[in-house]
Structure 1
């Protein structure tokens, strides 16, 4: 009997000291599989929660056939957290340590989203932290008035500043009958510039489609097997610089590349199934959107974007005699207004400001027409604090990548092929 007791103690000690394994024998691999099941079932309770999935199809079928109710899913998330905390990573490879942290952060975000589905609402900054792991600063709108003043001086004349901006930018609208040609050329250039620095999967590919009646301007639907479907919303005019933005953001080195590299690095090479699913309301989105926006600047540094617009895209769009230099200056100033939207969204979602006034605020501080501002409000209503992932995400990713030193493309590739969390970005 004593010999059997000692054998059990030795076995338990071995399990406790094995990185990635709990004393019970539970493992990160087993927890990761249950995390995927949890995420897929949450997706059945909230359409759109699962942004991409390319794991075993029978798992998706099981989630669709018999999803647990929200209280049961909340219990399952709590159980996953307990199981993760029981797993030892002492002395483990840093990738194993990061894997545990990644799963803990994403299960925590899933728990927060389940509370949201049940009707709980948090203040804007608290919600952002619960879902994405970052707490945005909400500045008073008056902080952005000086930038509006500089834009006003740049575009003198009669009428509201929003109208003057719209009139100036009208010279850069891509005609709808040339949109496919211009977008295809822009994406091809984004890909060429990215492929010169990042080794893309040999079979990577995408399809391009134009759609209407969406709250967003562009969307990447990753299909797995290194394939994406990129959709561009044509409800509102698309400008030449936006063709570059969308080509980089949705494609190269943005969402398409990010998902393809994660698939290759983790799902195919390591068999880490947690990366086969992308929950939209999770820390993953802060990295995804931030890197996709920073990717625009990385692929087209300095005045290279404006030059490509003028020399390549403008002729394809039939645009002549447009002031691209002045437009680039306007874009730089407009970018400084980006975080005003967080304050506007906070006030609206908290019920402090009504819809009409919110549209007016968005029009003023994003320098868009009221109908475009109304579309943006539709996005805010749908995705709420998700909006922090674009501007704040871009600035955070940029700071991290450029702090790595050397070739910024190498830092970007490292980020896109990792389980780095927003907290790791500083």
Structure 2
């Protein structure tokens, strides 16, 4: 598989004249299967709200799915049929890009089948579910293994009260006032974009709208609209810190979700006519790459101390905040990042029924250093998205390791990834 991916990287600039796979004896082909794959995903979206994260293919296909969606058992049969058809199509002599296309479709149909089984009532463990949906099996470490990190944070922020209370009190000095959210977010996103376009050529017409919302289980969301356009929403129910403005600007925008979707649309839908990329199923291997690259994009755009410098020079003044303890804030952020995967273990126990809701909230408060309201919101996210949470921390680490193995130009490696059908299994060394 690695040899296929390496060869694929050499073809990413290719135009639409990519050699096609050999049809099977019935005349079936990847193009025909891809059309039926889109129908499958759109119809699953009619059975599960939110399953289709983005669609910008022909509107009549979406209308057909809405008008007459198959039942879940019928869709399970449809996924099995697509798998059989894919396995029957030969990619011999067609080139690595086409072989990767077949692998990509197989992986996404397999993920769709797993989601359909869940909709029909099948129960999976946290790790089994993550692997079935996203193509990567997470390690579930004992929570005690994160205690040394908590000890370091305790030493960094001594005082009375619980550690979570001390962290919340310290971070309160960096909350962006609500009446300055718009100007701070605008500045952060503009800087994320400025740094990205120095390295990645974006479609000339790309743009986004930004809105602040509430009552959501997430902190930010990118709704890709097609034609290189996105609608970015930021949840303003909870405090937004200055460094979070940078995180959200990069993650939801540049070089994160907005750029990823725009490059996929340009590379595959516009230039090659590969219609499978016009639909984005949320619970799929695509999300591991999307969330992982969006999180790694923060470090890529603001390496080292550059994020802190931008906060000091631009965001703190715009927000009217005192930067006197900014270095300690950066130390806290680095340590907190090491706790990211603790919630996998908590989610595993909670979703399996080994701990109740109150215990899960207490553990999230301890290991994510959040107050009760924020920990409760995070549990709401876990209730909604379950094993999807692996795509953030684990996804970032896997993407970072892969990009940095490609060579010293990490932006080039990132652009390669964002313009490809590379799967999570291809990223793992």
- Decide: shared fold, TM above 0.5: yes
> Structure 2 matches for 1:57-206, cutoff 5 A?
57-206=59-208
Partner deviation per Cα, 1:190-225 (whole Å, 9 max, x = no partner) = 000000000000000000000000000000000000
Partner deviation per Cα, 1:166-205 (whole Å, 9 max, x = no partner) = 1100110000000000000000000000000000000000
Give the equivalent residue in structure 1 for 2:396. 394
Matches of 1:135 and 1:21 in 2, distance apart? 34
Asked if 1:364 is matched to 2:366, the reply is yes
Give the equivalent residue in structure 2 for 1:7. none
Segment drifting more, 315-324 vs 226-235: 315-324
**Cα shift at 1:18:** 7.4
Counterpart contact for 1:20–1:96, Cα < 8 Å: no
What residue ranges of structure 2 are gaps of 5+ in the alignment? Answer: 1-18
Matches of 2:161 and 2:260 in 1, distance apart? 43
**Cα shift at 1:45:** 0.2
Matches of 2:90 and 2:20 in 1, distance apart? 7
Matches of 1:407 and 1:20 in 2, distance apart? 36
Larger Rg: 1
Candidates 377, 380, 391, aligned match of 1:378: 380
What residue ranges of structure 1 are gaps of 5+ in the alignment? Answer: 1-16
Counterpart contact for 1:171–1:322, Cα < 8 Å: no
Question: TM-score, structure 2 length as denominator?
Answer: 0.95
Does the residue aligned with 2:290 lie in a helix, a strand or coil?
Answer: helix
Alpha-carbon spacing, 1:166–1:139, altered in 2? closer, same or farther (3 Å)? same
Does the residue aligned with 1:301 lie in a helix, a strand or coil?
Answer: coil
Candidates 409, 412, 422, aligned match of 1:410: 412
Paired residues, number: 410
Matches of 1:236 and 1:319 in 2, distance apart? 18
Alpha-carbon spacing, 1:156–1:302, altered in 2? closer, same or farther (3 Å)? same
Partner deviation per Cα, 1:379-409 (whole Å, 9 max, x = no partner) = 0000000000000000000000000012100
Q: CA RMSD in A?
A: 0.9
Matches of 1:151 and 1:326 in 2, distance apart? 10
Alpha-carbon spacing, 1:304–1:18, altered in 2? closer, same or farther (3 Å)? closer
Counterpart contact for 1:18–1:88, Cα < 8 Å: no
**Cα shift at 1:423:** 0.3
Does the residue aligned with 1:228 lie in a helix, a strand or coil?
Answer: strand
Counterpart contact for 1:241–1:309, Cα < 8 Å: yes
**Cα shift at 1:229:** 0.1
Does the residue aligned with 1:419 lie in a helix, a strand or coil?
Answer: coil
Asked if 1:224 is matched to 2:223, the reply is no
Does the residue aligned with 2:115 lie in a helix, a strand or coil?
Answer: helix
Counterpart contact for 2:316–2:323, Cα < 8 Å: no
Alpha-carbon spacing, 1:258–1:323, altered in 2? closer, same or farther (3 Å)? same
Give the equivalent residue in structure 2 for 1:420. 422
Matches of 1:180 and 1:102 in 2, distance apart? 39
Does the residue aligned with 1:48 lie in a helix, a strand or coil?
Answer: coil
**Cα shift at 1:119:** 1.2
